[in-house]
Amino acid sequence: MTTEKTLSLRDRQVDQATSRLSLAYLFVAFSAFGIAALAGMLQAMVRGGLITLPGGINYYQILTAHGVLLGLVFTTFFIIGFLFSGMARTTGGSLPVAARSLGWSGWSLMVAGTLMGTVTILQNDASVLYTFYAPMKASPLFYIGMALVVVGSWVAGWGIFAAYRRWRRDHQGSTSPLFAFMAVATMLLWQIATLGVAIEVLFQLIPWSLGWVPEVNVLLSRTLFWYFGHPLVYFWLMPAYISWYINIPKIIGGRIFSDSLARLSFVLLILFSIPVGFHHQLMEPGISAGWKLVHVILTLTVVIPSLMTAFSLFAVFETTGRAKGGRGLFGWFGKLPWKDVRFFAPMVGMLMFIPAGTGGIINASNQLNAVVHNTIWVTGHFHLTVGTSVALTFFGIAYWLIPALTGRRLTSTVNRLGILQTVFWTVGMLLMSGAMHYLGLQGAPRRTDYTTYFDHSTALGWMPYQQLMGIGGLFLFLASVLLIGILIYLGFFAPKGFTEYPIGENGDTAEVTPRILERWPLWIGLSAFLIAVAYGYPIYELIQHAPPGSPPIRTW
Amino acid sequence: MVVQPGIPQPDRQHPQTERKDSSLKGTFAAVLLLGAFIVVCWFAVFSLFVSRG
C-alpha cells in the first residue's frame, strides 16, 4: 500500500489535527505512567521488607507520586485523549476548530499543573498521598497544580461538548452516535463531580496552606473530597465501559447488544455515582448514621448500571460465539478471539471486574466496612478496579489507538508481546492484590511504611504476604517496561500502514433509541436534585456545627 | 481493510450476528453465577464481622 493511500485511510478515521491532539494527551499519560510504575514497584518492595530506599527518599513521597501520577494524571490524560479521538471518529472524522482549541488549552493547563504537582512531590514538599487529606499540609504549589489539572480537564470537556453540539446542529432530529453520547456523559459526570474537590482546594486548602487562614474544617474537606472521590472511580470506569460497549463488539466480529441499554446505563451512572460519598466515611464521626444509610442505599443503586453492562457484554459474547459455531451452555466462550490482544487485554480486565465490583459492594456495606476500613484490603480493591479492569482496558485500547492515529500497523509480533504483557500484569496483580485482600481481612493497615510493630507476633505473620506483594510489584514493573517499549515502537517505529479504529454497530436495527435519553437538562436536573438531597443538609450541619479547626501538620 | 498478520480478522464465513435468533441461555447462566459469587463473598465477610463482634 502506498503512503498516500495509508494516510488517506487513516484520515478517514481520525484526521491529522485531531490525531496530534489525542496523541499529545496519550504521551503525557504514559510518561506519567512510567514514573508512577517505578514508584509503585519501589513502594511494593519497601512494604514487603525486600529493600530500603536510598538516602533522603521517603516511603510516603513515592506513595504520593504513585497515587497522583496514576490515579489522577495517567487516567485523566488518557481518558481525554481517547474521548477526543472517538468523538472525531464517530462524528465525521474531525473535530471543529473550537473543540481542538479547547482541547489544546486544556492540555496546556493540565501539563502545567502536573509539572507543579510533580516537582513539589519530588522535593518532598507534598507527601500527602493522592487523597491529600487535611490536616496534612502540602506546599501551596501542589494544590494550585492539582487545581490547574482539574480546570484544564474542564476546558477539555468543553471541547467534547463543542464537538457534540456541532454534530447535533448538523443532524437535527437524529440520535447521536453512541460514542459521542457516552463521551458527553463521561465529561458531564466529571464536571459535576470535580465541583466538590474544586471547592475544597480553592476555598479551604489553598488559603490555609498559604497561611491566610489558620485552621481548616477537616470533616468538611474530607466530605468535599469524597463527593468527588467516588465519581472519580466512575470517571475511570466509563471510558472502559465505552470500549467494552463499542470497540469490543467490532473487534470480536459481533454487534452492540442494545444501544438504548448502553445509553441508559450511562444516564444511571451520572445520577447515582455522585450522591454516595459517605460510604467512604462510614467510620467517621460527625456524620449521622441516617445520612450514611442514604448514601449506602444510593451506592448499592449504582451497582445496577454495572450489572446491566455485565449482562449486555455476556450477551454480545454469546451471540458472537454462537455465530462462530459455539455450542452448549458455554461453548461460545472458547470461540472468542483470545489471541488478539485488542480483545484479550480488555477481556481480562472485564473478568477481573467481577471480584473488583464484589469488593466494592463489600466496602459500601456498613458492617462489612467495619471489617475492612483503612486496611490494605481497600488498596487491593482499587488495584483490581482501576489497576486491573481500567488499566488493562486502557492498555488494550492503546495497542490499536496509537497505531491508528500514527498511521502504523499493529504487527503480529507486537500482538504476541501485548498478550505476554497482559499476562505479566495479571499475574503481578493477582499476587499483589490477592495478598492485600487477605492481609486486609487480617487487619493489616493501609498507608503505612514497612514495620513489624516491635516484632509483634500478629504483624510478623503478615510478612510472607507482604513479600508476596513485593514480588507482585516486580511482575507489574516488568509488564510496565514492556508496555512502554511496545507503545514507543507503535508510535515511532512500527511499519507504516493501516490499523482499524473499531466502532461497533447496533445489533438490533429495529430498536428505536428513546429520545428522552438525550435530554441532558432532565438528567442534570435530576442529578442536582439527588445531590441536594444527599448532601444539602449534612453539609449545612458540618458548617453550622463545625468541629474544631485544625492547624496545618507536616507528618513527614 | 488491510489484513494484519497475527491479528484475527472478523469471521467472513459467519457474518456479524443479529441478536434475535440467538440463544441467551449462557448469558442467563453467567449472570446467575455472577450474582451467586457476589452473595457468597458478601456473606463470607459478614460472617467475619459477626465472628469478631
What ipTM, to 2 d.p.?
0.92
Q: Which of A89, A222, A342, A381 does the annotation list as catalytic?
A: A381
Residue A56: per-residue pLDDT: 81
Q: What is the pLDDT averaged over residues B13-35?
A: 76
Distance CA A360, CA A382 (A): 9
Interface mutation vs chain A, best among B27, B47, B49, most A CBs within 10 Å = B27
On the question of pLDDT at B9 being above 80, the answer is no
Residue A496: per-residue pLDDT: 95
Alpha carbon of A410: minimum distance to chain B alpha carbons (Å): 7
Task: With CB atoms and an 8 Å threshold, state whether B6 touches A413.
Answer: yes
The confidence band for A270, taking pLDDT boundaries of 50, 70 and 90, is very high
Q: How far does Cα B26 stand from its chain's mean position?
A: 9
Interface mutation vs chain A, best among B2, B7, B24, most A CBs within 10 Å = B7
Task: With CB atoms and an 8 Å threshold, state whether A409 touches B4.
Answer: yes
Q: Chain A contacts of B20, Cβ < 8 Å?
A: 508
Q: What is the pLDDT averaged over residues A519-547?
A: 96
pLDDT per position as a tens digit, A177-235: 999 999 999 999 999 999 999 999 999 999 999 999 999 999 999 999 999 999 999 99
Q: What is the pLDDT averaged over residues A524-542?
A: 97
Q: List all residues 6 or more positions away from A393 whose beta carbon is below 8 Å from its beta carbon.
A: A239, A240, A243, A244, A345, A346, A349, A350
Task: Pick the closest to residue A378 from A441, A425, A427, A430 (CA basis).
Answer: A441
Residue A4: per-residue pLDDT: 59
Residue A8: per-residue pLDDT: 65
CATH architecture entry for A3-498+521-544: Up-down Bundle (1.20)
Residue B22: per-residue pLDDT: 73
Do A23 and A405 contact (CB within 8 A), yes or no? yes
Distance CA A376, CA A382 (A): 10
Q: Does B52 touch chain A if contact means CB atoms closer than 8 Å?
A: yes
Q: List all residues 6 or more positions away from B2 whose beta carbon is below 8 Å from its beta carbon.
A: A1, A409, A497, A498
Q: Tell me, yes or no, if A12 is annotated catalytic.
A: no
Do A79 and A21 contact (CB within 8 A), yes or no? no
Q: What is the pLDDT averaged over residues B24-52?
A: 96
Q: Does B44 touch chain A if contact means CB atoms closer than 8 Å?
A: no
Give residue limits of the domains in chain B: 24-53
Residue A9: per-residue pLDDT: 61
| pLDDT over 90, % of chain B | 53
Assigned C-alpha cell, A212: 491566610
Q: Tell me, yes or no, if A234 is annotated catalytic.
A: yes
Distance CA A25, CA A76 (A): 9
Across the A:B interface, residue pairs with CB atoms under 8 Å apart total 124
The closest CB to that of A340, out of B5, B7, B49, belongs to B7
On the question of pLDDT at A61 being above 60, the answer is yes
On the question of pLDDT at A277 being above 80, the answer is yes
Q: Tell me, yes or no, if A438 is annotated catalytic.
A: no
Q: What is the pLDDT averaged over residues A155-180?
A: 96
pLDDT per position as a tens digit, A297-356: 999 999 999 999 999 999 999 999 999 999 999 999 999 999 999 999 999 999 999 999
Please name the residue of chain A whose CA is at the shortest distance from the CA of residue B8.
A340
Q: Does B3 touch chain A if contact means CB atoms closer than 8 Å?
A: no
Q: Chain B contacts of A412, Cβ < 8 Å?
A: 4-7
Assigned C-alpha cell, A535: 448532601
Please name the residue of chain A whose CA is at the shortest distance from the CA of residue B48.
A371
Task: With CB atoms and an 8 Å threshold, state whether A368 touches B30.
Answer: no
Q: Chain A contacts of B14, Cβ < 8 Å?
A: 253, 323-325
Residue A448: per-residue pLDDT: 94
Distance CA A82, CA A243 (A): 10
The conformational region for residue A213 under phi > 0 = left, psi -120 to 50 = alpha, else beta, is: beta
On the question of pLDDT at B4 being above 90, the answer is no
The confidence band for B12, taking pLDDT boundaries of 50, 70 and 90, is very low
Q: Which of A228, A343, A382, A465 does the annotation list as catalytic?
A: A382
Q: Tell me, yes or no, if A66 is annotated catalytic.
A: no
Most confident of A111-115, A327-331, B6-10: A111-115
Place of cell 517499549: A485
pLDDT per position as a tens digit, A230-269: 999 999 999 999 999 999 999 999 999 999 999 999 999 9
Residue B6: per-residue pLDDT: 46
pLDDT per position as a tens digit, A366-397: 999 999 999 999 999 999 999 999 999 999 99
Other beta carbons within 10 angstroms of residue B13's beta carbon come to 7
Q: Tell me, yes or no, if A437 is annotated catalytic.
A: no
Residue B5: per-residue pLDDT: 45
Q: Does B39 touch chain A if contact means CB atoms closer than 8 Å?
A: no
Residue A55: per-residue pLDDT: 81
pLDDT per position as a tens digit, A459-478: 999 999 999 999 999 999 99
Place of cell 458478601: B42
Residue A327: per-residue pLDDT: 92
Q: What is the pLDDT averaged over residues A401-424?
A: 97
Do A178 and A246 contact (CB within 8 A), yes or no? yes
Q: What is the pLDDT averaged over residues A420-432?
A: 98
Alpha carbon of B28: minimum distance to chain A alpha carbons (Å): 8
